[in-house]
Structure 1
C-alpha cells in the first residue's frame, strides 16, 4: 500500500514549515540590523574623522597666532637690559658731563664755540631733551672734525640744525643746534624751556654757566 501524498495545505500547517519561515524572517531582520549598524558605524567614523581634522586645523591656527608671543618674556627682559645699558653708557650723568664732552670735542677739533646756550626741551618717558645752541667757527676741516666727533661721541648727541652764517678768509662760521638728554632729576633748575621751532640761527635761551 503506497503512502498518502502530503498536500500543500498540510505542508503550510506543519510546525517545521513555520519554523523555517521564522528562521528566514529572523535572518532577514538580523541582516537588516547588520546593514543598518554598518551604515551608522561608517557615518559615525566619518563624523569623528571630520571632527578630528577640524580640531587639528584649529590647533594649528592657534599655534600660528601665538607664535609671535613665544619667548616674549625673554625679549622684554633683554630689551630692558639694552635700554639700561644705553642709559648707563650714552646718557650724560649730569649737566657737567655735557659741558665736558662738548669742551673736549672743541679742543680736539680746533674749532671755536661762542654764544653757547642750553635750554630744556620736552620730557618723554624717563628723559628730558637738552638743546645746545652755539656759534662755531674754524677752518672747514676743523668743523668737519667737530661734527664727526659729535656723531661718534660716547655721549648721545644729535645734530638738530646747522646753518651757515659767514666766512672770512679761511674761517667758516656756522650756527649749530645739538640735542642730548638727561634724566629729569639731573636737569638744572635754572635752565629755561626751549622755544618751539627754534631755528639754528636764533640766539641761545640760556648762557652756559648761568
Structure 2
C-alpha cells in the first residue's frame, strides 16, 4: 500500500517551507537595502564632488584677488629706493642752487631773463614747491633752447605756463612760470606765497634783478 500524498496544507505548515519563505524575504530586504545604499552613496559622492569643485573655485578666486599683493613688500622697498634716488639726483640741494642753475641755462641758451621773482607754493609730503616767474626775451630759437633745456635738465623743473607778451624786431618776449621743489628745511625764510594769477597778468614777486 502506497504512502499518503502530502497535502498543500501540510506543506504550508511545514517548518522547512517557512524557512525558505523567510530566507526569500531576507534576500529581498537585503537587495532593497543594497539598492538604497548604492543610491545614497552615489548622491553623497556627487555632493562631495560639487563641494570639492566649489572649494577649488573659491581657492582660485582668492589666488587671483591676492596676486597683486604678492611681493608687495619688495615693491614698496624698491619704490622707497627710487624716491630717495630721485630726491638725491633731481631735487635741488638748496635755494641758491636753483638760482645758479637758472643762470647757467640763461647763459647757455643766450636768452635774457628780467623781472625774475621767486615764491613759495604748497607743500606736498616731504617737498615744498618753489616757483619762478620771469620775463624772457631773445630770438625764437634761443627761447626754444632755453625751454627745452629746462624740461630736460637734471634738476627737476616743471614749466607751469608761458604767455606771449610782445615782439620787437627779431626778439620775442614771453612771461614764463617754472616750478621746482625743495625740502622744507631748505626753503629760505621770507619768500612770498605763489600767486594763482596767470603769467600774463601776474606781478613778479621777490625780484632777483632786471
Question: What is the distance in 2 between the residues matched to 1:13 and 1:38?
Answer: 37
Displaced runs of 4 or more, over 3 A = none
Q: What is the CA-CA distance between 1:130 and the residue it aligns to?
A: 0.5
Greater mean deviation of Cα atoms: 22-31 or 67-76: 67-76
Question: What is the distance in 2 between the residues matched to 1:14 and 1:179?
Answer: 117
Instruction: Give TM-score scaled by structure 2 length.
Output: 0.94
Q: Deviations over 1:126-163 (max 9, x none)?
A: 11110101111112221111111111111111111112
SS in 2 for 1:189: coil
SS in 1 for 2:174: strand
Are 1:177 and 1:200, in contact at CA under 8 Å, matched by a contact in 2? no
> Which residue does the alignment assign to 1:11?
11
SS in 1 for 2:36: helix
Q: What is the CA-CA distance between 1:90 and the residue it aligns to?
A: 0.8
> Which residue does the alignment assign to 1:91?
91
Question: Compared with structure 1, are the counterparts of its residues 166 and 142 closer, same or farther at alpha carbon in structure 2 (3 Å cutoff)?
Answer: same
Q: How many residues align?
A: 209
Gaps of at least 5 residues in structure 2 are none
Question: What is the distance in 2 between the residues matched to 1:26 and 1:130?
Answer: 99
> Which residue does the alignment assign to 2:165?
165
Gaps of at least 5 residues in structure 1 are none
> Which residue does the alignment assign to 1:152?
152
CA RMSD of aligned residues (A): 1.4
> Which residue does the alignment assign to 1:203?
203
SS in 2 for 1:208: strand
Instruction: Give TM-score scaled by structure 1 length.
Output: 0.94
> Which residue does the alignment assign to 1:56?
56
> Which residue does the alignment assign to 2:113?
113
